[in-house]
Amino acid sequence: MNARKTFGDQLRVIPVILMVFFIGQGIWAQSDSINRPSLGDHYFTPVSYSNLPFTDSYLSTLTGYGQTTDLVHQLGSIGNIDLRGLKGKVAFIDMGFIYQQRVRDWMAAYVSLGFSARLGTELQSILAQGVNTLSNFEIGWHIRLLKRDKYAISTIVQLQNNQASFINVLGFVRDVINDFPEPSITENIPLLSAASGLRFAWGLSELVGFKASTNLAYGESYTRGENGFSFKAGAGIDLDFNPRYSVPVGLLVNYSISSMPDIVYIEGKKAQMGQVKIAYTGASDFNIGIEYSYQKIPLFEQTTPPTVQSIALAVRYYF
Calpha distance 116→133 (Å, rounded):
6
Is CATH 3.40.50.150 the right assignment for the domain spanning 3-318?
no
Predicted pLDDT at 156? 98
The pLDDT of residue 28 is 47
- Which pLDDT belongs to residue 259? 97
Structural contact between residues 267 and 300, judged by C-beta atoms closer than 8 angstroms: no
Give the pLDDT band (50/70/90) at residue 84: low
For helices 14-24 and 3-12, what crossing angle results, to 10°?
A: 10
Residue 195 phi, psi dihedral angles, 5° rounding = -140, 155
Structure confidence at residue 13 (pLDDT)? 53
Nearest CA among 134, 153, 164 for reference residue 55: 153
Q: Which of 108-117, 133-142, 163-172, 211-220 has the lowest average pLDDT?
A: 163-172
Mean pLDDT of 274-288: 95
The answer on pLDDT for 61 being more than 60 is yes
Confidence at 224, pLDDT banded by 50, 70, 90: confident
Cα–Cα dist 14/21, whole Å: 11
pTM (two decimals):
0.85
What pLDDT score does 70 carry? 76
In angstroms, the CA 126 to CA 123 distance is: 5
Provide the pLDDT for residue 272.
97
Q: What pLDDT is stored for residue 12 in this prediction?
A: 54
What residues contact 212, with CB distance under 8 A and at least 6 apart? Answer: 50, 199, 200, 201, 233, 234, 235, 236
Per-residue pLDDT tens over the stretch 88-114:
899 999 999 999 999 999 999 999 999
Residue 6 banded pLDDT, cuts 50, 70, 90: very low
- For position 82, what pLDDT does the model report? 54
